[in-house]
Amino acid sequence: MTADPRRGLPSVDRVLAQLDGLPHDLLVASARAAIDAARERAAQGLATDPDAIVADARDRVAIRQAQLLRPIVNATGVLLHTNLGRAPIGDNALAAAVAVGRGYSNLEYQVEAGTRGSRHEHAGSLLAQAVGAEAGVVVNNNAAAVLLCLGALARDREVVVSRGELVEIGGGFRVPEIMSESGSRIVEVGTTNRTRRTDYERALSSETALVLKVHASNYRMVGFTETTPVAELAALGPPVMVDAGSGLLDETTPWLPGRPAWLADEPGVRQALTAGAALVTFSGDKLLGGPQAGVIVGQAELVATVARHPLARAMRADKMTLAALQTVALAYLDGDATRIPLWHMATTPIEVLQARAEAIVTSVPGVEVIDTEAVAGGGALPGLTIPSVGVSIETGAAGLASLRRAGIVARTEDDRIVCDLRTVAPNDDARLAAALAAL
């Protein structure tokens, strides 16, 4: 008769004594999980070595550590990768968030008068100024902005929208669902591929609160299509609300030599307002290049109604977001793209990426420089690519997984791993090279 191998299992405390790097309770969970796994092995008559149990517990600690929210190197070439946190935030915007977050601030305080102020007086009004709107407010994200505007302006009334714009943006944002959550009634007009001005006209009634135009940012219809431009909708009478989504502030992006081809016909917020939109909503962390936020700009009276609504209180942006977003707004007012990492990355000349790729290839054997195509992502500009350069190495799925463990997310093409440098910060090149060398 052999001894029960389960007898030989170490205690939680004994395993725990050899773990560190996380708070006690999380280490206990890892120690317990490793001992439980050993108990199962023992029950099947398999060997259980105390050292192996400790090693297993350490692996579990490492996996748990890697699950903590932390920086990742984005080598996918997708500039606005929603799963990787969309737009990176610039150092100066972060510094503003740190300065305001660290202590007290005039978040809702008028310094001159010494009286209560409004958090909408900061980033919201600066962004309004950057697009030529009368007023602006900031909430948590664009989904909140759309919900709030509809709830504040169209509850129990009708919102006229084209069937072609009842889209799903991703991450569970479905226009019809948001509309019904807001308490407004959807009046669908036109067809999926064609909606004319007369379709809208016929749907108008004394119950119409808004005409809504949604930028179908994440897909593109080609062929027999027709949409009605904002300028024609604005002539119908009721206020036109545009969900512009991506947050391209101005189609003439003042700091670029010209409009880059990959921006195609992406509509600008300023142009929607000029065409007669009464309200425009957009995200802070897409093409605007700032923190997660939803921005509402437009006519002062409508913006004030929206800001006063009880839902606005539930969706208000926090002081660090507002500080970072204010810095972004100031950069736009200055026409200085170099302060916005997204635009810096998007417009980095191909020769600069080429030189960085060559430097990596020289230091890591087996790696090649390749031409790649980066994309905007984040549900903006489907099908349009930005010429880019990457490094590539021949290795399978295991290589990709080991890069992920090193905090680098890349993509595969055939049997090769491709790391696109357009989305990698130059000071992460060394980290990328080291991880590739370790393959």
Residue 1 three-state SS: coil
CA distance 412 to 93: 33
Residue 382 three-state SS: strand
Q: Rounded to the nearest whole angstrom, what is the least distance from the CB of residue 158 to ligand PLP in the complex?
A: 20
Residue type, position 402, single letter: S
Q: Rounded to the nearest whole angstrom, what is the least distance from the CB of residue 199 to ligand PLP in the complex?
A: 21
Is 57 or 296 the residue whose CB approaches ligand PLP more closely? 296
| Residue whose C-alpha is closest to residue 401's, from 420, 423, 417, 415 | 417
Long-range contacts of 53-58 (CB under 8 A, 24+ apart): 53/9, 53/10, 53/15, 54/10, 54/15, 54/18, 54/19, 57/15, 57/18, 57/19, 57/30, 57/31, 57/33, 58/18, 58/19
Instruction: List Cα–Cα distances, 276 to 57, 197, 296, 299, 331, in angstroms.
Output: 62, 15, 15, 10, 26
Count of alpha carbons within 13 Å of 355, Cβ hemisphere only? Answer: 6
CA distance 59 to 318: 37
Neighbours of 328 (CB within 10 A): 31
Residue whose pair of structure tokens reads 């349009």 in the numeric block: 384
Q: Rounded to the nearest whole angstrom, what is the least distance from the CB of residue 196 to ligand PLP in the complex?
A: 22
Beta strand spans in 121-239 (E): 135-139, 158-162, 168-170, 173-174, 185-189, 208-214
Q: Rounded to the nearest whole angstrom, what is the least distance from the CB of residue 233 to ligand PLP in the complex?
A: 16
CA distance 138 to 120: 7
Is 76 or 217 the residue whose CB approaches ligand PLP more closely? 217
Q: Rounded to the nearest whole angstrom, what is the least distance from the CB of residue 261 to ligand PLP in the complex?
A: 20
Q: Rounded to the nearest whole angstrom, what is the least distance from the CB of residue 374 to ligand PLP in the complex?
A: 19
Is 77 or 267 the residue whose CB approaches ligand PLP more closely? 267
Q: Rounded to the nearest whole angstrom, what is the least distance from the CB of residue 296 to ligand PLP in the complex?
A: 12
Is 61 or 214 the residue whose CB approaches ligand PLP more closely? 214
Maximum distance among all Cα pairs of the chain, rounded to whole angstroms? 92
Is 162 or 283 the residue whose CB approaches ligand PLP more closely? 283
Is 90 or 294 the residue whose CB approaches ligand PLP more closely? 294
Question: 194: which DSSP letter?
Answer: B
List residues near ligand PLP by CB under 6 A.
141-143, 169, 173, 214-215, 217, 243, 245-246, 283, 294, 379
Is 227 or 246 the residue whose CB approaches ligand PLP more closely? 246
Is 141 or 271 the residue whose CB approaches ligand PLP more closely? 141
Q: Rounded to the nearest whole angstrom, what is the least distance from the CB of residue 142 to ligand PLP in the complex?
A: 3
Return the residue nearest ligand PLP (CB atom). Answer: 245
